[in-house]
Amino acid sequence: MVLRSDDMRRRNRLRIIEIIRRKGAISRSEIAQSAALSPATVSTISNDLIAEGVLIARGSDTPANNGRGRPSVYLSVNPAFRHAVLIILKIGAVNISIVDYAGAVVSRRSIELDLACIGMEELRQRLIAEVRDAWDASAPEGATLGRMSVGVQGATDIAGTLMLRSPITALTDIPIARWLHEAFGAPVRLANDCDLIARALNWRDPARYSDNFAAILLAHGVGMGLFLRGKIINGTKSSGTEFGHMLHRPGGALCRCGARGCIEANAGDYAIMRRFRGDPLDAPPMVHVTADEISAIAEAARDGDPLAMEALAAAGRALGAGLAGIFALVDPFPVAFVGHGTAAFEFMEPALREILEESNAHVAKDVPIDLYRDETPFILEGCGIDALCEIDAQLAGGIAEPA
């Protein structure tokens, strides 16, 4: 494929912005080396971006070449150029953050809001009011809102405009992007929280989390953000992948989605609590299980409690069966488990790896597994990356408006 000169210029603009965003501060010569571009091309594009207010240049106090010559000049993104609003919708709460163009958090607030108890119009009004209040109270004077990113527990449409369904509300097909765009005038995109976790891992450590890996949320729900060949994998119509709602055992334990036998119905925190308490497997899922309660079950397992050990082993078997099915389709890949369920993972892992060893994907029995206890920072970071990179892509298409 032959690129036209304007297409090449857009690609080079975006590549330079991406490199600077990842590095934080970097010289033009380092950019040229990293992007495989000529120094003249880097200078021309970076000078344009500085003039547009996208980048800023700072000189080093240390002269180059062992004290000889001019001090080095480092480029970085201009924090004041644009700001983004990040919104995380979860059970019982809405988290709203404002970040600058460099990704630094300007303000953060959490509002208790039980979305299960309000209707569509009240949700629209409350969400807009809370975001407006957060922006008016905390955005720097003269700040320009460039983008809004919304992370949700649940499925979105593939375009990132609708919250199709979610455990946080009985409402469906909620047009959150349209509401916010009409109220604030900035582009808006919704994303599944597990996709955002995976994107944050890829951004933090692209060497470890690069082309192929999965981030699996172990909390009240069980979800997956899946990278294959360097790209997030979604469904044809929705954000998928619904790993937690893959069928594990027909007619099995009751899931909060209403079906029976889902992976989540065996590995979600409410499922672990249900087995530990000895409740029937068709007992309605608990609305909320705390991280401390899962830690207490893990402690009971360490003390040899058979109910605790079996509840956690059952979770491991369900997770292992789900991974075995996926590995049989696309080959094994590293996995990061994220969320308060990882507090008890030491008792899930043996059963999980046993299932993998017995499956057709037996070569996956030694697949690398990482654990992260708190999913919230990853979701927030993924929201920020999503918003800021979308602004970058827009800027790469042409001349930016003055900051």
Amino acid at 393: A
Task: Assess whether pLDDT exceeds 80 at residue 5.
Answer: no
With the C-alpha atoms ordered 253, 256, 260, 264, is the resulting torsion angle positive or negative? Answer: negative
Q: Which fold has domain 83-196+378-396?
A: Nucleotidyltransferase; domain 5 (3.30.420)
* Segment 90-111 mean pLDDT: 94
In CATH terms, the fold of domain 204-376 is Nucleotidyltransferase; domain 5 (3.30.420)
| Domains 5-77 and 83-196+378-396 agree in fold | no
Give me the mean pLDDT over the 389-397 stretch. Answer: 90
Question: For the whole model, what pTM was predicted?
Answer: 0.91
Distance CA 222, CA 337 (A): 10
CA-CA distance, 165 to 184, in Å (whole number)? 24
Q: What residue segments make up the domains of the chain, in order of their start?
A: 5-77, 83-196+378-396, 204-376
Q: How high is the pLDDT of residue 70?
A: 61
| Measured CA distances, 167 to 89, 111, 386 (Å) | 11, 18, 23
pLDDT digits (tens, 9 = 90+) for 165-207: 998 899 999 999 999 999 999 999 999 999 999 999 999 999 9
How far apart, in whole angstroms, are the C-alpha atoms of residue 197 and residue 228? 15
| Sign of the torsion angle spanned by Cα atoms 31, 36, 42, 46 | negative
Fold of 5-77: Arc Repressor Mutant, subunit A (1.10.10)
